[in-house]
Amino acid sequence: MTLNVLGISASPRAGGNTDILLAEALRGAETAGAEVESVFLRGLSIGPCTECYACAQTGRCRIEDDYQKVFAKMLEADRLVFATPVFFMSVSAQAKLLIDRCQCLWSRKYLLKQPLFPDGPRDRRALVIAVGGSASRKMFDSVRLTMKYFFDAAGFDYFANLFVSGVDAAGAVRTHPQALTEALRLGRALVAEAAMPPQPETVELSGSPDSPRA
């Protein structure tokens, strides 16, 4: 069976470091035999969660905007590559808007006790790519936690992380061949027929090797 891999870019900057690494990961998945598709949140209209609690009754978000399109693609996907820049030690605003709207999935799972898929659980795995200009590794702590609970609600097993620090200028990651290589490798691994690791694999790289890390 051919796997369907969805790549989501949460970067507001077109063609920047986040997009570049996402493209490499998807290229890796495609060379391994998967079908791939990219979604760029910056071009979509996705409003914030209004905390109306309608989803606590229905398991569905009542707000009709571009979220519904992305939501449908996420449910169809066998694999997910979620790529975000790091802003103020967390995911981007575009990423957080999408994640917060997935409260409907949390409601479906934990309040309504409804299965995400009528035919039973599926093997769905997700890879996180996060890129930040700071040399501090602490910025990835929040990203890791946010994505952990997002994947839990959305029915994905947390497969791996690629965290790249010290990369800021647009396209600068192209001068970091190890980051590109790891994105390609993790994209391939994401679709490989292998058992899930007990913990997500985490690759942390720095584009500024001489900078102090915290």
pLDDT tens across 101-126, in order?
999 999 999 999 999 998 888 999 99
Q: What pLDDT score does 134 carry?
A: 86
Class of domain 4-44+66-94+125-206: alpha beta
Q: What pLDDT score does 193 carry?
A: 81
Rounded to whole angstroms, the Cα distance separating 139 from 195 reads: 29
Global pTM reads 0.93
Low pLDDT (below 70) residues in the chain: 208-214
pLDDT tens across 21-30, in order?
999 999 999 9
Q: 209 is written with which tokens?
A: 């090797």
Quick one: which of 78, 1, 88, 72 has its CA closest to 39?
72
Q: State the virtual CA torsion across 111, 116, 120, 126 in degrees, nearest 10.
A: -120
Q: What pLDDT score does 118 carry?
A: 85
| Number of other residues whose CB lies within 10 A of the CB of residue 142 | 15
Helix (H, G, I), strand (E, B) or coil at 93: helix
Cβ atoms 198, 189 nearer than 8 A: no
Rounded to whole angstroms, the Cα distance separating 137 from 19 reads: 21
| Number of other residues whose CB lies within 10 A of the CB of residue 193 | 7
Q: What pLDDT score does 138 carry?
A: 87
Q: What pLDDT score does 207 carry?
A: 75
Q: What pLDDT score does 209 carry?
A: 45
